[in-house]
């Protein structure tokens, strides 16, 4: 899939990104820093992919959350050296099936996770609260 994002400078360190559909993302200034959007994108991409994978197996968690933590190099280039993703789900879920969906998401299906995993150390875990099979 080809993507285009037009980014325009507003003032100082404030930029505005707009996609072809007209959705806008404000960056810098009083808004989140672009690197925070990268981490948020990882959470959104992996989260949506895990939910879709579970749905394809006929499973819907009662609740679902993603936490992303990253550490960057102190020297240039300040790429991510380590990124850790934690998925927290609740409901009557099979732990092995969730683990398989998460593994596939992180290594194959989420292009943001795969890309970041090629740059630094990418780890993940999942926790299921409530009834488990």
Nearest to 50, CA basis, from 5, 112, 103, 14: 103
- The pLDDT of residue 131 is 64
Whole-model pTM over 0.85: yes
Decide if 43 contacts 117 (C-beta within 8 A): no
Answer yes or no: do 84 and 120 share one domain. Answer: yes
- The pLDDT of residue 133 is 59
- The pLDDT of residue 130 is 80
Answer yes or no: do 23 and 47 share one domain. Answer: no
Cα–Cα distance for residue pair 70/72, rounded to 1 Å: 7
Answer yes or no: do 61 and 124 share one domain. Answer: yes
- The pLDDT of residue 104 is 98
**Structural domain count of the chain:** 2
pLDDT average per 10 residues of sequence, the chain (133 residues): 91 95 94 94 98 97 97 93 97 96 98 94 95 60
Answer yes or no: do 62 and 98 share one domain. Answer: yes
- The pLDDT of residue 119 is 87
**What are the strands, taking DSSP E only, across 49-104?**
63-72, 80-90
Q: Which domain holds residue 71?
A: 34-129
Answer yes or no: do 123 and 74 share one domain. Answer: yes
CA angle 39, 113, 103 (to 5 degrees): 130
Q: Dihedral through CA 88, CA 91, CA 95, CA 99, nearest 10? A: -40
Q: What CATH number did the domain enclosing 102 receive?
A: 3.30.300.20
């Amino acid at each position: 899939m080809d993507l285009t994002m037009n980014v325009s400078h507003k003032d100082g360190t404030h930029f505005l990104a707009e996609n072809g559909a007209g959705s806008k993302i404000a960056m810098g200034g009083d808004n989140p820093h672009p690197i925070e959007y990268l981490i948020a994108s990882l959470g959104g991409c992996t989260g949506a992919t895990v939910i879709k994978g579970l749905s394809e197996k006929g499973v819907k968690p009662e609740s679902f959350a993603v936490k992303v933590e990253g550490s960057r190099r102190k020297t240039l280039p300040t790429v991510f050296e380590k990124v850790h993703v934690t998925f927290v789900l609740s409901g009557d879920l099979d732990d092995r099936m969730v683990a398989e969906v998460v593994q596939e998401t992180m290594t194959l299906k989420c292009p943001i996770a795969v890309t970041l995993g090629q740059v630094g150390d990418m780890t993940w875990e999942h926790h299921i609260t409530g009834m488990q099979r």
